[in-house]
Amino acid sequence: MVTSKRGSKDLIRAINYSIILNKIKEIGPVSRAELAKVTGLSSATLTGISAQIIADGLIFEKEMGESKGGRKPILLALNPSGGYAVGIKLTENTLIGVLVNFVGEIIERYNMKLVSKTPESVADLIGNLTEELIKRSQVPKDKLLGVGVGAAGLVDFDRGMLITSPFFRWRNVPFSQLVQNRVGVKTYVDNDVNTLMVAEQLFGAGQNLEHFITITIGRGLGMGIVVNGQIYRGVKSAGEFGHITVHSNGRQCACGKRGCLETLVSDEGLLISGREVCSEPVDSVDDLLQLAESDHNNAQNVFAQAGTLLGAQIANLITVLSPMRIIIGGEGVRFGDWIFKPMHQTIKENIMPYQGEATEVVVEPWGDDRWAVGAACLVLGEFVKSPLYRNSSYD
């Protein structure tokens, strides 16, 4: 949990350390003079703390910048090899693992199949996967800042507790501690959609935005929320976008309710809808997509109806929360205009004009490693976070 901290010289220095590090990340290679201007810190403070960050290996002095007369300024930039993080996406049958550097670039990839699915055996395998990534990359283990795990289901991030897992039927598993006992470095666990949101905030389309939302479509339908630059987690499970009720007497959802948005817009929902209206065999959502691309009217209508429903609920989000940007990702982005064209049109029709100008809706390209990179960004995000907001449960 995030707790209030008493003021002290050490705390003030730690806050300023974080401010300088994040500004360098935010605006790229920058001179000390420009840093002093944008942070409001004195030249003496900035010089002393930046020297410490250089000594810690997190930033370095880059090539000379452009001169406006006189001596050329030396620029400060993030050091990609300043530290590394392992990210692991926990799926039903596989651990998808990556090792990323300090600027979020993938250094190594490796996956492992799950043999046993008890919490202890999965934690053991994560330990093995972490060792394999370190060995393959030849990164010194003392440069590993931590391990992040992204999982479907309800997660209590503050306690590192996996409350429910739809894949494994786990309940109240202290998963971060189980993994940390095996890897020997700080370990963070969060809902997989939240991990993607952290990656967008650090290195993607959410950089420098105070208010934005990430939505994922695919096997499920998830959402992450950033308000005032901080993740909004609510009391228990904020962001369960897929379980908004759109038809009170609709299809039965895996959550136990009826008529959830997910029952019509997720892969499974699209598959059921396709089988109801298509005479051709539809064994997977990719079969449905292939039919749509072959000018099959019923298949196209399934995607269009899902896009319309999705757009209506996104319009509601914009009306209530007015974010600066909504970022859509997940495996479902492969549906392309079949689903997103009606989505955009429905959003436009259902929001007030000035809100349409204020909120941008973007669909991000997707790659299979994005989930795991997001998990690694849990580590990087906590590392660069101000001590005022850092989670004391992981100290």
Mean pLDDT across 5-9:
66
> Does residue 383 carry a pLDDT above 50?
yes
Q: Label residue 367 by pLDDT band (50, 70, 90).
A: confident
Most confident of 151-160, 302-311, 382-391: 302-311
Which pLDDT score is estimated for 1?
Answer: 46
pLDDT digits (tens, 9 = 90+) for 326-346: 999 999 999 999 999 999 999
- Region 231-235: mean pLDDT is 86
Amino acid 2: pLDDT:
47
Length of the chain: 395
Examine the pLDDT at 388 and tell me if it is beyond 80: no
Measured distance CA(56)–CA(365) in Å, rounded: 35
User: Per-residue confidence at 130, pLDDT binned at 50, 70, 90?
Assistant: very high
Query: Coil, strand, or helix at residue 315?
Result: helix
- Concatenated DSSP letters of 25-91: HHH-SEEHHHHHHHH---HHHHHHHHHHHHHTTSEEEEEE---SSSSPPEEEEE-GGG-EEEEEEE-
What's the start-to-end Cα distance of the chain, in Å?
10
- State how far the alpha carbon of 249 is from the alpha carbons of 111, 254, 276, 310, in Å: 41, 15, 17, 18
Question: At a CB cut-off of 8 Å and minimum separation 6, what does 333 contact?
Answer: 217, 363, 364, 365, 366
pLDDT of residue 393: 56
Domains of the chain, first to last: 9-78 (1.10.10.10), 83-199+371-394 (3.30.420.40), 206-363 (3.30.420.40)
Q: What is the pLDDT of residues 291-308, one digit of tens each?
A: 999 999 999 999 999 999
